[in-house]
Structure 1
Amino acid sequence: MKKKITIIGSGFSALSASCYLAKSGHEVSVFEKNASIGGRARQLKKDGFTFDMGPSWYWMPDVFDRFFADFGKKTSDYYELIKLSPAYRVYFGENEFIAIADNLEEIEATFESIEKGSGKVLNKFITEAKSNYDIAIKDLVYRPGVLALELVTVETTKKIGQFFSNISRDVRKKFKNERLIQILEFPVLFLGAKPSDTPSFYSFMNYADFGLGTWHPKTGMFDVVHAMESLARELGVVFHTDSNIEKIIVENKSAKAIIVNGQTIFSDIVLSGADYHHTETLLDIEHRVYSEQYWNSRVFAPSSLLFYVGFNKKIENISHHALFFDVDFYQHAKDIYDAPQWPKDPLFYANFPSLTDKTAAPEGMESGFFLIPLAPGINDTEDLREEYFNKIISRFEVLTQQSIKNNIIFKISFCKNDFVQEYNSYKGNAYGMANTLMQTAFLRPKLKSKKVNNLYFTGQLTVPGPGVPPALISGKLVSDLINKQFLEQ
């Protein structure tokens, strides 16, 4: 039965849902508060430079393949993928780094050269991680988080112990070199929690890293946004930008309409891909499922201080992705999760897309993207942003043995206040709600409102969790729930 469906927001989960729902024959309209679509994955262009404003790592290519295959398409119908070699570098000191190759055999050799015997140990670890990946990403994450029993399968019962241990403990049993340990702990940071708070089962992220590799859409992650928008339009989805949602109207305990820029838009279903907490504030208080106390008690993934920088020369001694772990990894984690504060000595990440994509910067120049993870809800001022930019750029110059400060044409910052302003993000978080044991699957906020009929949610604060591949899956899961509702009527 054809229904009129209104979708709030245009991030990856909303785009995914719009495609699935339009394919099912529904009349789908997407309303985005900003001037362009993509949510946190918007694109920034300035003076001939191009930046992905949000996600910059393309992992789990099989999830993207599966999404497009659901519509009889291939990723190659829309964009070209480049496998990065090296996948990334991790800097530990002055021109002292470990390069992660684009294949497991070379990565094992790298580990072996640093810690004798660790190559074979890594092979075994990644084999187990692949097993977890096959269970989690090919099966469990495609379950809607409605019932606890969704997690109980023949395969998961064999791995029950991994849900009650953690990544940090597991890795340290197998490896002794601190640098190798940090490299293996790094991928779970995408899940939004400390390695010591992340169940061992999530080692599947290590397989996503070492086993499947790191890819880059030819002209950036916005290629994926553009591809999904194109597919949605082919399926009949209508997009409205500069459309701020002011209220969700509920009558007789059912969502009936949204108010957009003062105009009332009626529909049969309202689906929000916007921040879950913010969406509930669009409801009268009696219709909200989760209290402020609930949200305040959750473990959120970090916010971030981001810099988009244009350089008037090529940058040396660097890779497309680079992690700077030359300071205390665990102290920075404590400054995010245990005692929230600006870190004295921050870890940071740098991305130079123009090394791979020549259209990302004018000829002879470089585009740079820098990120410092921060505690959500932290104080955010222009003075602090400037102080921390100077900190990381000074270290960058030392670590990569070059001068770049005087080659900056411009820099644009984006931090907690901007996440709140641009995306209505709870406490300015950048990645959503962390995937800790007590915030996994059925323990996350639900895809379907318990109080308001015909109101649904999708995205990084609900099932299955943070990250671009989970966002694509979230859109599919909520679409299946919506279609199931109509079949049951």
Structure 2
Amino acid sequence: MKSTINIIGSGFSSLAASCYLAKAGFEVTIFEKNSTIGGRARQLIKDGFTFDIGPTWYWMPDVFERFFSDFNKKPSDYYTLEKLNPAYSVYFGKDDYITIEDTLEKIKLAFDKEEPGSSKKLQKFIDTAKNNYDIAIKDLVYNPGVSPLELITPATIKKINQFFSTIKKDVRKEFKNERLVKILEFPVLFLGAKPSDTPSFYSFMNYADFGLGTFHPKKGMYQVILAMEHLAKELGVNIKVNAPVESILIENKEAKGLVSNGTNYYSDIVVSGADYHHTETLIDSSLRQYSESYWEKKTFAPSSLLFYVGFDKKLENVNHHTLFFDVDFDVHAKAIYDNPKWPKDPLFYASFPSITDDNAAPEGKEAGIFLIPLAPGLEDTPELRSEYFDKIINRFEHLTSQDVKKSIIFKESFCINDFINDYNSYKGNAYGMANTLLQTAFLRPKIKSKKVNNLFFTGQLTVPGPGVPPSLISGKLVADLVTKHHSILV
């Protein structure tokens, strides 16, 4: 008889874990509280428009390829990828922007145009970033975070100084042009911390950006979720939606299953891909590994105020991904990390998937996604959402030299309260726990519970950290640990 596993949540990490565990011979059931799968990577479909509610950037294609290859599959078996050119553009003022194209050689030309001679420094920086990427993505991040020794390899010993310097120091040591600095500091924002708090080693994100490029799955990021669902079901995984988990069943400090919609579902092992903090509220306080003060002291990645907007015309002077860095980043960052409050003048990001993808909007119309990074735990009201939409849409019109407000068919918003309600997210964070030096690898919350046997965790609050590729990896890590643990028991 097969051993059974119940998994809480159906985001990237849970789906990945379910595939690996089913392949290893377990009988796996996923419990998803919402009516559709995907966790933060769900869709909004309205009036012929289709929006990815969560992640919109497809970076590190090799991680996706590695995941599917573990099952003798390829991403192209399920969805079509398009490399974006340009990858994105960055606005610094009215009609003033830098475009990042699809190859390093083209990007070097853009750098030289901005700061003559900077392309040589960029090549050197990216060479280091690529070396870090090879060490990190091919080796380090596939460790389960159980021991400090995982970080000690011949390659990392040579890089030891990079764990004690920061991205901000490294970038500003080489580049003086503030616009280029902002572009080079941008990728580490995906790791959830300020460049001044992110170890230099994480420059591998710059290689992901300039070296590998930015992609778009045709019909949106949700196609990756559907691909993983298809694979999971092929492997025999059972998925239940509208199945919130009320508690985890524990006997003699051992997980025995869970309770969903008032029904007990027994299993040999429980894996949670839900918010780590929330998952521990499903068990008795004496069995929780981490106190409220532990979570309170941690550096969390931002939350977000998101708007999904349908426009009745095609927009001008924007690319699929467009960043608006026309205000002071440091001031906005302080409002997120140092003195949490609503930023007076926020940076923001906009995505227009319908520029690339006909599926995103009816013909002649545009789908727009706008994102403002915010500190988790802030007050979230309809009035604040409305005020901040007006702030960014006014700036958007000014910076891109076009009128768009009269062309809005509808707008939907998603913010801190929604992250809490829909995902049980701690303080409404959007990206998990930041990858700072003291929150890296073995210093993150553990995959395996120290207090409850047969209870495991996966996702952005444990290893390797925030982001879609790390979530895929996290699913593999928990599956490997479960399989190893179970083989010892039997």
Same fold (TM over 0.5): yes
The CA deviation at 1:3 is 1.0
Cα distance in structure 2, aligned partners of 1:199 and 1:227: 34
The CA deviation at 1:249 is 1.2
Structure 1 equivalent of residue 314 of structure 2 = 314
The CA deviation at 1:341 is 0.6
Q: What amino acid sits opposite 1:369 in the alignment?
A: I
Cα distance in structure 2, aligned partners of 1:310 and 1:106: 33
1:6 counterpart SS class: strand
The CA deviation at 1:286 is 1.0
Structure 1 equivalent of residue 158 of structure 2 = 158
Cα distance in structure 1, aligned partners of 2:224 and 2:162: 33
Cα distance in structure 2, aligned partners of 1:339 and 1:408: 34
Cα distance in structure 2, aligned partners of 1:15 and 1:216: 20
Cα distance in structure 1, aligned partners of 2:235 and 2:187: 35
Counting aligned pairs with the same residue, the percent is 71
**What are the residue-to-residue correspondences of 1:147-226 with 2, within 5 Å?**
147-226=147-226
Q: What amino acid sits opposite 1:134 in the alignment?
A: D
Cα distance in structure 1, aligned partners of 2:164 and 2:261: 48
1:97 counterpart SS class: strand
The CA deviation at 1:350 is 0.2
Q: What amino acid sits opposite 2:457 in the alignment?
A: F
Structure 1 equivalent of residue 95 of structure 2 = 95
Structure 2 equivalent of residue 136 of structure 1 = 136
The CA deviation at 1:117 is 1.3
Task: Return 5+ residue gaps in structure 1 as ranges.
Answer: none
Deviations 1:305-360 (A, max 9, x none): 00000001111111000000001111101110011110000000000000000011
Cα distance in structure 2, aligned partners of 1:6 and 1:257: 7
Residue 454 in structure 1 maps to residue 454 in structure 2: yes
Q: What amino acid sits opposite 1:277 in the alignment?
A: H
Cα distance in structure 1, aligned partners of 2:368 and 2:459: 28
Residue 21 in structure 1 maps to residue 28 in structure 2: no
Deviations 1:211-232 (A, max 9, x none): 0000000110001000000000
Cα distance in structure 2, aligned partners of 1:235 and 1:268: 19
The CA deviation at 1:2 is 2.9
**What are the residue-to-residue correspondences of 1:249-288 with 2, within 5 Å?**
249-288=249-288
Q: What amino acid sits opposite 1:220 in the alignment?
A: G
**What are the residue-to-residue correspondences of 1:65-144 with 2, within 5 Å?**
65-144=65-144
The CA deviation at 1:380 is 0.6
Cα distance in structure 2, aligned partners of 1:467 and 1:362: 30
Q: What amino acid sits opposite 2:272 in the alignment?
A: S
Structure 2 equivalent of residue 54 of structure 1 = 54
Q: What amino acid sits opposite 2:65 in the alignment?
A: D
Structure 2 equivalent of residue 384 of structure 1 = 384
Residue 437 in structure 1 maps to residue 437 in structure 2: yes
Structure 2 equivalent of residue 425 of structure 1 = 425
Cα distance in structure 1, aligned partners of 2:482 and 2:379: 39
Q: What amino acid sits opposite 1:203 in the alignment?
A: S
Cα distance in structure 1, aligned partners of 2:358 and 2:145: 42
Cα distance in structure 2, aligned partners of 1:250 and 1:295: 23
Structure 2 equivalent of residue 403 of structure 1 = 403
Cα distance in structure 1, aligned partners of 2:148 and 2:10: 30
Residue 346 in structure 1 maps to residue 331 in structure 2: no
Deviations 1:63-83 (A, max 9, x none): 000000000000000000000
Cα distance in structure 1, aligned partners of 2:84 and 2:39: 25
Q: Which stretches of structure 1, 4 residues or longer, exceed 4 Å deviation after superposition?
A: none
Cα distance in structure 1, aligned partners of 2:374 and 2:269: 36
Q: What amino acid sits opposite 1:49 in the alignment?
A: F
2:402 counterpart SS class: coil
The CA deviation at 1:95 is 1.0
Deviations 1:16-54 (A, max 9, x none): 000000011110000000000000000110010000000
2:372 counterpart SS class: strand
Cα distance in structure 2, aligned partners of 1:221 and 1:360: 11
Q: What amino acid sits opposite 1:438 in the alignment?
A: L
Cα distance in structure 2, aligned partners of 1:220 and 1:91: 24
The CA deviation at 1:487 is 1.6
Cα distance in structure 1, aligned partners of 2:401 and 2:24: 56
Cα distance in structure 2, aligned partners of 1:161 and 1:256: 45
Deviations 1:355-392 (A, max 9, x none): 00001101110000000000000111100000000000
Deviations 1:463-488 (A, max 9, x none): 00000000000000000000001221
Cα distance in structure 2, aligned partners of 1:359 and 1:128: 39
Deviations 1:204-263 (A, max 9, x none): 000000000000001100010000000000000010000010000110110012110000
2:299 counterpart SS class: coil
1:39 counterpart SS class: coil
Cα distance in structure 2, aligned partners of 1:336 and 1:140: 29
Tell me the matched-pair count: 489
2:362 counterpart SS class: coil
Structure 1 equivalent of residue 357 of structure 2 = 357
Residue 393 in structure 1 maps to residue 396 in structure 2: no
Q: TM-score, normalised by structure 1?
A: 1.00
Task: Return 5+ residue gaps in structure 2 as ranges.
Answer: none
RMSD: 0.6
Cα distance in structure 2, aligned partners of 1:3 and 1:437: 38
1:123 counterpart SS class: helix
